[in-house]
């Protein structure tokens, strides 16, 4: 038997936020707007999703920079290594800013915390990654 998803509806056909990540099985009671992928999220959860996507983007950028830095070192391309170190510093700073925004958005919640884990990379790691070349 397949499981069908029933979208909770408020009165007058308004849709509730479909954010379902609380550990206690709670649901967001705010009304959600349709997103491009069809998910309905309230403004607060939409912003959190946007920040989490930015974290994933900057982490992927840092992974690619590490990959290309290693290749540039192997080929003894010091000019490229220097440029990639600058880009790593910029990406690390941008990632730190996004983590701070994400932390602030979680701290500003009105007691209905979702029990989510802290960001996977603490700010100390960001500082250390600047000092260590990949």
- For the whole prediction, is pTM greater than 0.95? no
Is there a domain that residue 113 lies in?
A: yes
Q: Residue 27 has what pLDDT?
A: 74
In a domain, 14, yes or no: no
Flag whether 3 is in a domain.
no
Instruction: Count CB-CB contacts under 10 A for residue 92.
Output: 22
- The residues, ordered by sequence, that sit 6+ positions from 5 with a Cβ below 8 Å of its Cβ are none
- How many domains does the chain fold into? 1
Q: Is 116 a domain residue?
A: yes
Report yes or no on 96 lying in a domain. yes
Q: Is residue 110 part of a domain?
A: yes
pLDDT tens series, the chain, 134 aa: 455 555 554 445 567 787 775 555 567 878 888 776 777 888 888 888 899 999 999 999 999 999 999 999 999 999 999 999 999 999 999 999 999 998 988 765 544 444 444 444 444 455 445 545 44
* pLDDT of res. 99: 93
Query: Per the domain annotation, does 7 fall within a domain?
Result: no
Domain extent, residue 90, equals: 44-131
Q: Is residue 90 part of a domain?
A: yes
């Amino acid at each position: 038997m397949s499981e069908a998803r029933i979208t909770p509806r408020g009165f007058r056909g308004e849709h509730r936020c479909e954010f379902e990540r609380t550990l206690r099985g709670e649901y967001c009671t705010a009304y959600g707007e349709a997103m491009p992928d069809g998910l309905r999220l309230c403004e607060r959860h939409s912003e959190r999703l946007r920040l989490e996507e930015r974290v994933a983007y900057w982490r992927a950028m840092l992974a690619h920079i590490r990959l290309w830095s290693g290749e540039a070192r192997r080929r003894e391309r010091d000019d490229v290594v220097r440029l990639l170190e600058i880009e790593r510093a910029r990406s690390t700073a941008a990632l730190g800013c996004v983590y701070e925004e994400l932390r602030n958005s979680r701290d500003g919640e009105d007691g209905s915390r979702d029990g989510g884990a802290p960001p996977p990379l603490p700010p100390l790691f960001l500082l250390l990654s600047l000092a260590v070349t990949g």
